[in-house]
Amino acid sequence: MFGLAIRKKIDEDKLANIFVNSLLEAVENGFGDVAGMINEDLAFQTSPSIDPKAYQQFLLIVITGNLTFLGENNEIDDVEDLSNLIIKKYASIFDMQTSELDVNIQKMRTFISQVNYPSKNYLYGLSKAVFFKYHLNNFQESYFKTMNSPNPLFLKRMDELVQLFLWDWDKFFKKHKMQ
């Protein structure tokens, strides 16, 4: 009974390493499936022919999404410090300045908000970001193409895929306590 109430302790650096490495690995290994789903989706008249190795935009989208959802978490006091550490670790991997990656993430947040307006469903915004960053409007039927809007059936399927790359921060912090 007492074991259920005790949360495992984890320090900020270890959590940042686990998050950065696991998300990077998930995207590197999983984007081929995402590209395959997009390329074969019936919402498109012709295949977009997304390269299974062209995951850079997708990675930035899911990093941004994960950091945004982390920022909404009330389980830890220093969300900003953890976010900054995660950005610093990604910047090191990408061989860029932390400030440069931070600017890219802020630009992506702004882009997601713009393409998602007026919806408040952030997952939906992430899927729309994938749609626009990979120029998928060019491959839609004329009705949606003219509106420059993704087919809602495609977005629903994309939501399910994007969700696989998002951490459940609430669940994580119910099991772990920051040191």
Residue 141 backbone class (left: φ over 0; alpha: ψ -120 to 50; beta: rest): beta
What would the mean pLDDT of 28-34 be, rounded to a whole number? 98
Return phi, psi of residue 140, to 5°: -85, 165
- pLDDT score at 143: 97
Report yes or no on 179 lying in a domain: no
Q: Is the pLDDT of residue 31 over 50?
A: yes
Report yes or no on 162 lying in a domain: yes
CA–CA separation, 33 and 46 (whole Å): 18
Greater model confidence, 78 or 163: 163
- The structure tokens listed for 79 are 């969300």
What would the mean pLDDT of 53-67 be, rounded to a whole number? 98
- pLDDT score at 8: 85
The count of structural domains within the chain is 1
Q: Is the pLDDT of residue 5 over 90?
A: no
Report yes or no on 3 lying in a domain: no
Q: Is the pLDDT of residue 179 over 80?
A: no
Strand-pair partners of 151: none
What would the mean pLDDT of 115-136 be, rounded to a whole number? 97
Render pLDDT for 67-123 as a digit per residue (tens, 0 to 9): 999 998 766 677 899 999 999 999 999 999 999 999 999 999 999 999 999 999 999
Report yes or no on 75 lying in a domain: yes
CA–CA separation, 106 and 104 (whole Å): 5
- pLDDT score at 119: 93
Give the domain range for residue 146.
8-42+50-174
Report yes or no on 57 lying in a domain: yes
Q: What is the mean pLDDT of the chain?
A: 94
- pLDDT score at 1: 46
All residues at 6 or more sequence positions from 18 whose CB lies less than 8 Å from its CB, including other chains: none
Report yes or no on 150 lying in a domain: yes
Report yes or no on 65 lying in a domain: yes
- pLDDT score at 74: 65
What would the mean pLDDT of 153-178 be, rounded to a whole number? 93
Q: Is the pLDDT of residue 4 over 60?
A: no
What would the mean pLDDT of 25-51 be, rounded to a whole number? 98
Report yes or no on 160 lying in a domain: yes
Contact indicator for 22, 132 with CB cutoff of 8 Å:
no
Alpha-carbon torsion, ordered 144, 161, 18, 2, to 10 deg: 130
